[in-house]
Each structure stands twice: as structure tokens, then as C-alpha cells.
Amino acid sequence: MTTERVSGVALALLAGIVLEECWRLRLPLGTLANPGPAYMPALLALVLLGAGVLIVTLGRDTTPLAAVRWQEWRHTLAILAACAFVALALERLGYRFTMALACAFLLGVVERKGPVATVLFAVGMAAGTYYLFDTLLRVQLPRGPFGL
């Protein structure tokens, strides 16, 4: 299995999903002369399908999937977890608390920096950016419990 073939199949699958969704959402296709809201998505899905098939067909002798290196996956997962936490907590816990926790996690747990550096960076980053944007520049950032 090569990377090209995997991506070609993925593109074809995506095209199938788009076409299926156009049908499921009952979006009118319209006509060639009077395109409806499903016209362009369907047309683009067909382009993707064609591209996917061509990529699969032509992608026999390209990089094997096994040759792709994923050595950073632990960091990637940790960063994604931090991002997901921020997205979930931002409007519940407030900007400062959420960002401080996310930074502390990334620095202390993922990067294994010392507790002093971690706390200083996390609190400084959260409070500093809040002061700059919310207080000085008046960009409203979410506050959490107790106005934090």
C-alpha cells in the first residue's frame, strides 16, 4: 500500500460522503442552466472522485505507507488534547484559568520542565496576554467563575 493509494481512496471516500450528504440533506441539485445549492458541492465531489481514482491508478510506485514516520505522535496527541481542553473550557473556566492550565500541561507534563519555570510561564502567559488584549486593547475575552 502506498501513500498515494491511501490518499486517493480517502479522496474518493470523501467525495462519496459529500454526495451522500447532498442527498440526505435534500439539497436541490437544480439544473445545468439553473444550479441549485447542491450543484457546486456535487460537481466538486465528482472532481474529487475523479482525482481520487486517478491518484489511486497512478500511485502504484510511490512512497510505501510504512515508510511514513510517525515518531511525533505522542506530542501531537498531547497538543491536541490541550487544544481540545481549551476549546471546551474557554467559555466555562474563563480565558486566564484555561490558558494557564493548558500551558502548564504542555510545559510541565509534555516538555517536563521544572515546576518553577512551568508555573511562571503558564501564569505569565495567561495573565500577560489577558492584560494586553482584554485590559489594554479591550478585546473581550471570556471570564470564568469569580470573574477570573
- Residues near another protein, by CB under 8 A: 3, 6-7, 11, 14, 18, 21, 25, 27-28, 31-38, 40-41, 44-45, 47-48, 51-52, 54-55, 58, 63, 68, 70-76, 79-80, 82-84, 86-87, 90-91, 99, 102-103, 106-107, 111, 113, 121, 125-126, 129, 133, 136-141
SS3 content of the chain, % helix, strand, coil (to 5): 70, 5, 25
In the complex, the smallest distance separating the C-beta of residue 87 from another protein, rounded to whole angstroms, is 4
* 138 torsion bin: left (phi>0), alpha (psi -120 to 50), beta (else): left
∠ at Cα 39 (33, 41), nearest 5°? 155
Q: Select 71 or 145, whichever has its Cβ closest to another protein.
A: 71
Could you say which DSSP state residue 65 is in?
Answer: G
